[in-house]
C-alpha cells in the first residue's frame, strides 16, 4: 500500500482522455464510427459511404467524408523477470526486488487511470500469465503471485528452457500485442530489462 500512495507523482504513458464516456476512456488511433469527430477530408477508396458529408460534397463538387476517433479501453500487461539472473545485488537491494517494486508501482498507476492491468511473471521454471482486469482485488492477487515468485528465488535457482526470453515474447505475440513492449531498463538492453509494458487487445 506504500507504493500505491506514490502513484500520483508520475505517469507511465501518454494519456489521452476521451471526450465521451460511451465507449471507453481513451482515444484510439483506429478510425471508425465513434462519437468523437476527428477531421473532414476527401473521400478515399474504401471509406464508408455512410460517413459522406453531403453538404460539403455538394458545395465543393467533390466527395468528402467525416472521420471519427473510436474510444477504447486500454489493457496493459507488465512482463516481470523473476529468473535466476535477477538474483543479484550490486549494493544492498536485489535486482529482482527492484523489478517487483517498479512493476507494483506501475500497476497501481495503470489501475488509477482506470485501465486494465495484467502480468506475465517469468519464473525460473515457468511463465505465469494473469489476465488484465480493472480490479483492485485482482491486482492484489497478482502482486501476491509476484511476491511469491520473488521469494522463491535463491542462489541455487536454475532457469528452465521453457521460461526463457523468447518464450515470453511468443506469449505476448499470441496475446496479440498491438505494439512492441516498452522497456523500463537499467541496462538499455531488452533482454536485461527490469520490466516490459505491452498494450494488448481487450480480448486478451
Q: What is the pTM of this model?
A: 0.61
Query: How would residue 35 be classed by pLDDT, with cut points 50, 70 and 90?
Result: low
68 & 83 share domain: no
* Residue closest to 195 by CA, chosen among 132, 113, 104: 104
Give, in order, the Cα–Cα distances in Å from 37 to each of 22, 27, 30, 171.
14, 11, 13, 36
Q: pLDDT tens for residues 140-157?
A: 999 999 999 999 888 888
96 & 157 share domain: yes
Spacing of C-alpha 45 from chain mean position? 33
79 & 173 share domain: yes
88 & 180 share domain: yes
pLDDT at 6: 54
Whether the per-residue pLDDT at 11 is higher than 80: the answer is no
164 & 153 share domain: yes
pLDDT at 53: 94
Task: Decide which of 36 and 127 is more confident.
Answer: 127
Task: Give the total number of structural domains in the chain.
Answer: 2
82 & 182 share domain: yes
Q: pLDDT tens for residues 47-88?
A: 888 889 999 999 999 999 998 766 566 788 888 888 888 888
Which residues form the domain of 40?
26-72
Amino acid at each position: 500500500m506504500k507504493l500505491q500512495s506514490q502513484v500520483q507523482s508520475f505517469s507511465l504513458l501518454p494519456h489521452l482522455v476521451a471526450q465521451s464516456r460511451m465507449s471507453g476512456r481513451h482515444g484510439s488511433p483506429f478510425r471508425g464510427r465513434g462519437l468523437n469527430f476527428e477531421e473532414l477530408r476527401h473521400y478515399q477508396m474504401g471509406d464508408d459511404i455512410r460517413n459522406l458529408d453531403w453538404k460539403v460534397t455538394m458545395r465543393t463538387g467533390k466527395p468528402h467524408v467525416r472521420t471519427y476517433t473510436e474510444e477504447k479501453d486500454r489493457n496493459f500487461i507488465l512482463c516481470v523477470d523473476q529468473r535466476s539472473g535477477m538474483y543479484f545485488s550490486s549494493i544492498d537491494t536485489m535486482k529482482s526486488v527492484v523489478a517487483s517494486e517498479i512493476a507494483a508501482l506501475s500497476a497501481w498507476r495503470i489501475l488509477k487511470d482506470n485501465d486494465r492491468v495484467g502480468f506475465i511473471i517469468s519464473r525460473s521454471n515457468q511463465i505465469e500469465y494473469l489476465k488484465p482486469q480493472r480490479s483492485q482485488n485482482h491486482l492484489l492477487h497478482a502482486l501476491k503471485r509476484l511476491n511469491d515468485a520473488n521469494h522463491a528465488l535463491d542462489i541455487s535457482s536454475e532457469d528452465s528452457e521453457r521460461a526463457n526470453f523468447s518464450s515470453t515474447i511468443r506469449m505476448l505475440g499470441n496475446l496479440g500485442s498491438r505494439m512492441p513492449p516498452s522497456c523500463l531498463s537499467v541496462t538499455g538492453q531488452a533482454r536485461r530489462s527490469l520490466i516490459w509494458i505491452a498494450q494488448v487487445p481487450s480480448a486478451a
